[in-house]
Amino acid sequence: MAFWRRKTDIEKERRVKANDREYNAKFSYADNRIKTSKYNIFTFLPINLFEQLQRVANTYFIVLLILQLIPQISSLSWFTTIVPLVLVLAITAIKDATDDFFRHKSDKQVNNRQSQVLISGSLQNEKWMHVQVGDIIKLENNQFVAADILLLCSSEPYGLCYIETSELDGETNLKVRQALTVTSELADIPKLVEFDGEVICEPPNNKLDKFTGTLFWRNHKYPLDNEKMLLRGCVLRNTEWCFGMVIFAGLQTKLMQNCGKTTFKRTSIDKLMNTLVLWIFGFLVCMGVILAIGNTVWESLVGKDFQVFLPFDDSHTNAVFSGFLTFWSYIIILNTVVPISLYVSVEVLRLGHSYFINWDRKMYFAAMDTPAEARTTTLNEELGQVEFIFSDKTGTLTQNIMVFSKCSINGQAYGDIYDEFQQKVEITEKTACVDFSFNPLRDTKFRFYDGRLVEAVKQEDPSVQEFFRLLALCHTVMPEEKYEGNLVYQAQSPDEGALVTAARNFGYVFRARTPENITVFEMGQPVTYQLLAILDFNNVRKRMSVIVRNSLGQIKLYCKGADTIIFERLDVCGLELMDITSEHLNDFAGEGLRTLALAYKDIEEEYFEVWMKKYIFVSTVIENREDQLAALYEEIEQDLKLLGVTAIEDKLQDGVPETIARLNLADIKIWMLTGDKLETAINIGYSCNMLRDDMSEVFIISENTLLEVQQKLRSTKEHIVGLSRVSSATDVKSDIQLYPDSVFEEAIIAEYALVITGDSLAHALDPGLRLVLLDVACLCKTVICCRVTPLQKAQVVELVKTHKKAVTLAIGDGANDVSMIKTAHIGVGISGQEGMQAVLSSDYSFAQFRYLQRLLLVHGRWSYFRMCNFLRYFFYKNFSFTLVHFWYGFFCGFSAQTVYDQWFITLFNIVYTSLPVLAMGLFDQDVNDRNSLRYPSLYKPGQMNLLFNKRQFFLCTLQGLGTSFLLFFIPYGAFCVLLKEDGSNFSDQQAFAVTIATSLVIVVSVQIGYDMHYWTAINHLFIWGSIAVYFAILFAMQSNGIFGVFTSYFPFVGTSRNALSELNVWLVILLTTVVCVVPGLVVSFLRVDLFPTETDKVRHLQLRKRQEPQEQSLRRVRRTSSRRSAYAFSHQQGYGELITSGRNMRISNPCSAPSAGELQQNSNWIENVLKRKNEVACASEENAEASDSGNIVI
């Protein structure tokens, strides 16, 4: 290898020898020091400056500054650019330095933590950063794990220990780890000192849930897996002490391997801004060329006459070279069309919008003390442009609080209750539950209503006994018993906790476990089972089994898992029972319950011994261990006997159906991506209004081969397109006539839904078929993907994100949702029952799905609206300000002379006009939050990018161009004929400059005043205060006092006082202001009156309510109690306003409050509205006004 090539040996396996630093040092493994900081004292300035110059705008202004230092081409002082540039660079540098200081502080704190390390035969305190691979360290209760260590022994029996992994995956429930039996005996220092085992394992990686290795010690091999490892970031709990051997240290630990750089997300407005900046720069170059040519021509034709007394200096050799220098001079002067303050202002606005989300009390969930949190400040306006939402089901749409609801045992269903006529009785909160007082170890919070199951347990039905015995044995739950009878289960999933709790209440109490045994109290009698093997669950197997030996010496395999998986492995003798159970299973799934099938198997002693030898051998293999174990599990999990199925209820979160309905009305497509079975997913779809009975068809794709999936997708597409063509010829015309612009029409435009299973989706995501899948899915209003893996979730999001060019949002609550949350443009995490990993990976987080409607329809829409208005106004005012120099060039011999005083140029964007535009960008709102939610169709302009695009930029550029033209030529024409009160002429350029500058400040302030939709005290203070500050600074800078101190910097003493003391000047300023502002005002009024948008109509409605006469207000107040119910009812029925016509779809007698029965009858408001679509006629304008006055609260 050549000497200049860098050595890049890839570690293929790791060899670590205990208590042998010299041996381990030859592999050059990483030490335990971590470094997350970016800078130090010496590198901060150059590196940070280099990073900031990666931003094109900063580099652009640095180049301008250099140009301004060249006296031959600069007519502006250097401070006009360097002051705002240094301010921006300094603010960013201070922010970066502060962030890095905290990273340094955190690194120092972590690296200096103390750990007890076994060195030279004794335990010594060492800093974490000095711990090395192969060291044996001691951990005590509540201590953080210093590195990724192999658990050797602990204070608990059988080498058990308990850890909390909240820093790794956000889950706060305890997890159990267990040392090898052979090392669990190394419980004292002398034995640990003599331990010289060698571990050969996988190289460092970021897989938190997997570890493969082998321990070689005393001529024996012992398999190692993730259950033997304690990872850095975990905390030791409920364990007095433990010893471990360091395998990975520092940056090679799994925690640090997972701290990779998060993909930087940029908004569509950011991308548009880059394009516009290039356009503006091109426009700037064009103006510079025009003025440079003008200078060349002027110098050739006119300027030569002045050379007698104004000759060229040494740098000016001819007219062409003069034009060349003039070009660069005008590039400097006109650079303010893209002021650096724009980027600072954008960041301030985004930060403010993020705080508004954090402070929103209506998104605060008191039950969990969880507010909404904006975890990024760069995506707020993107929230107003979302077109696709990808949602998890469990814990996102549902509560993820599992309750054992029903079951089927040996063909008998339990869970429903019946009256004396054998009619099913609806279970309510008042329904009496089963009495479990016979069980002193029961969970008092558990509720079950079918007493037949308790009787079957008491009668010692063998099938029922085996059913609950399986639930008590086949799991990974850890019990905690702080005192006698006080059992707390630490479950890795709510499902397992619910099943073990159910077994507990029915008399099969899981009491304790060791690595070799499980103790269950069966109807009060302790029974110990020898645990022979655990065949663990994974996403491929979709089942879990345990093999135990009971007190009679019998070996049994208990298995639970997905019904499709279990049924495939049943003994052929149980087909009749399987058919009966399948009917119960479909009934349970139809009710939206989560189901699991249970089965068992008796195993012969001789067969098990042979199988166990294979198991022990495969467990020590390093290559393809998981595949070989899976094949071994498959071998023994055959010819099972069906016991029954469980049904667990996971209720919808509050407000989910209403939220989905509103988002649908906003033309946002919602796709549900879930790992649940097909029937459960469909039922939840109906429950939350994603699926409706009135849909034309729900297409289900569950084929198993690529060809079948391809044929099904193509036939589905042809069916939808064919029916749409027929319906469009007959129905669309009549619909448009009956319901113009109705917001309800948005909810029923798409008549189809697509449901696809994970197996079919795997084929549909094939490169040759994925676009067909996307076409079919986008033709449907609702898409549900069930039985999908986390990777498939991310692939679906990436498919839409890449090919539809639409803004996507992914929302979930579990670790399995992290991939799609990171893939989508916007990731939302829900603080739920599955830990905080989704939240930690998200851009926004809150506690309940229903808050999503407020995040998008209120905060998202407002942020987009405010940012677009801010950008339009900012470009308008800067074009108005800058292009005056362009017009002035034609009257100053193209000499690059500025119109304004240099201090005005410096302060215009950072003092005179910065606060009003910030106030508009922070506080403006076209309609209030209540109407934003009530009229979801107001969200559509953001999806179509209507408020700020290339066309809008062109229009505001034209407006700024016209304003600059008027700002220059009206004062210029006036000054040609204007006389002072004493009869003398206005002859000085500075009086002309003061007049234009004053007119400019007043014009842009008045313009932002009538562009403002929502006035606050802060808006008034900033707008009128900025005008006052302008005059104060103007008179101060041209006063005698400051001239006496800084003569060379403020030479125009008394100019403003002399000019603004003349009445004629004020008349010119007034005329200029009126002529500049009135045309835009007229256009705005005509547009709203002749071509009103939906926003204009809702604003008109909102303003009309504020202006209602007192008599109507009193009438509304007098009926407050009844109207509150009516408002809630209308709010559910809602979105019935026909916005373009101002008319409502109304129920009969809308002024009377509905009774409780009527409210119950109409609880599912969207279905009722859709059913009545063809029965509703447009109400008269008078009735609409009456209804609106009662339904909208301002």
CA distance 114 to 1088: 70
Q: Are 948 and 868 in contact (CB under 8 A)?
A: yes
CA distance 968 to 889: 11
The H or E element that residue 744 is part of is helix 743-747
Q: Are 32 and 250 in contact (CB under 8 A)?
A: yes
Strand partners, 534: 546
Residue 1171 φ/ψ, nearest 5 degrees: -65, -30
β pairing state of 198-201 and 403-409: unpaired
Residue whose C-alpha is closest to residue 593's, from 695, 472, 701, 498: 498
Token pair, residue 1085, equals 């009024």
The CA-to-CA distance between both ends of the chain, in Å, stands at 77
Single-letter code of the amino acid located at 537: F
- Residues 6+ away with beta carbon under 8 Å from 666: 746, 856, 857, 936, 937, 939, 940
The residues carrying an active-site annotation are 392
CA distance 604 to 611: 11
Single-letter code of the amino acid located at 92: T
CA distance 522 to 504: 9
Single-letter code of the amino acid located at 1111: E
Single-letter code of the amino acid located at 26: K
CA distance 204 to 219: 26
Residue whose C-alpha is closest to residue 145's, from 160, 157, 158, 162: 162
CA distance 331 to 281: 9
- 530 burial (CB, 10 Å; 0-12 / 13-18 / 19+) is middle
Single-letter code of the amino acid located at 1040: N
CA distance 1151 to 1188: 11
CA distance 258 to 583: 45
CA distance 812 to 827: 8
Residue whose C-alpha is closest to residue 463's, from 581, 595, 330, 562: 581
Token pair, residue 324, equals 């060349």
Token pair, residue 45, equals 């300035």
Helix (H, G, I), strand (E, B) or coil at 934: helix
CA distance 1088 to 1095: 10
CA distance 589 to 584: 9
| Plot region of 1149 (φ>0 → left; ψ -120 to 50 → alpha; else → beta) | left
Helix (H, G, I), strand (E, B) or coil at 73: coil
Q: What is the DSSP letter of 7?
A: P
CA distance 891 to 897: 10
CA distance 47 to 60: 18
Token pair, residue 821, equals 């949350």
The H or E element that residue 326 is part of is helix 319-333
Using the structure block, give the residue that is written with the tokens 């008027």. Answer: 966
CA distance 310 to 478: 95
Token pair, residue 886, equals 């362009």
Q: Are 786 and 751 in contact (CB under 8 A)?
A: no
Rg over alpha carbons for the chain, rounded to the nearest Å, is 37
